[in-house]
Amino acid sequence: MAVAAPTTTPSVARPRTGALLRSPGARTAGLAAALVVLLAACAASLAIGSLDIPLREVWEALVSRDDTDAHAIVHDLRIPRTELGVLVGGALGAAGALMQGVTRNPLAEPQILGINSGAALSVVAAISVLGISAPVAYAGFALLGAALASVLVYLLGATGRGGATPVKLALAGAVLTALLTALTSAILVFDAQTLDEFRFWIVGSIAGRDTEVLTAVAPFMLTGLAIALLCGRSLNALAMGDEVARSLGHHVDRSRGWAALGFVLLAGGAVAAAGPIGFVGLTVPHVARALVGPDYRWVIPFSIVLGATLLLVGDVAGRVVSRPDELEVGIITALIGAPFFIWLVRRRRLSEL
């Protein structure tokens, strides 16, 4: 991915003054605490719903399943939903961190590089032209559309002098997003049946997805998570500018290419499985940086854990606030993420995020 850097740690990797967890020991303890909170969110996801199940009975269902309705609900509905929530939330958190590192843009997210729009157009075309209606089939077409959109953005951003600079990538993503959204809207205007099918996917939800969907997208997202965890050092160098990164021994284009592959797999797989869920990839990396500073070797692991926790908490909240119905997690994350991000921007200058 990158040529070995000098033993001296780049200055960008040093925790800034405002970081809450400054020493490696404090960061390790903080990550362990975040994992405990994630486990608590998993337990809540297994226990809470239209039918609340006591934690003791949840544990019994996990260790020795019987034929009761409660055990069937835990195994057939809530375990796949919880597993998908952890994977999608972690993938979105890591994808946001990678995007913001590659583009050096604190507002970068899947939408800014056309991934959501590419996935949406691909799903709409599959429903309208091929008559696809199964969620597992949505996953395959959404992932393909996300990947193609990302390639187009990179090719557009790489034209001209200077290659694929952060600003050119962001502009290319904005242009392609507008075009793909217009094409999607045109199809939906003239095809009411496709609109009926598509609207259940576009809102963003992990409900109703079975293990088949999880199995289809998990290899892509797990590969993306592995790439993300290996990109920390190169993203630290890229954050100081291309020239400085080269002087430290990093191959800039190769490093940026690996990171781009990582967030395509992560964001594409997440959107394919659950639809376009907003604000997780945008907000979570900022929270991680507030905790550990700008060192991506720590920002990415924290973003994975915090993203998974946020998505599960949002999903559980959606089951509670409108009983006996549910609010999709995409709505909940927007309601949580938008005001939090406004508060974050007001609390700190955007250039420090």
pLDDT at 163 > cutoff 70 = no
The residue with greater pLDDT, 74 or 160, is: 74
pLDDT average, residue stretch 295-315: 96
Question: Cα 48 vs. chain centroid, distance in angstroms?
Answer: 24
Report how many helices (DSSP H) and strands (DSSP E) the chain contains, helices first.
15, 0
How far apart, in whole angstroms, are the C-alpha atoms of residue 331 and residue 328?
Answer: 6
Q: Angle at the Cα of 167 (from 162 to 169), degrees rounded to 5? A: 85
Q: Prior bond to 339 cis, omega within 30?
A: no
Contact predicate 123/131, CB 8 Å: no
Tokens representing 27?
């960061």
Least confident of 12-16, 23-27, 128-132, 192-196: 12-16
pLDDT at res. 168: 79
Is the CA virtual torsion 189, 273, 38, 266 positive or negative?
A: negative
How far apart, in whole angstroms, are the C-alpha atoms of residue 257 and residue 91?
Answer: 18
pLDDT at 274 > cutoff 70 = yes
Find, among 330, 302, 331, the residue nearest to 93 by Cα: 302
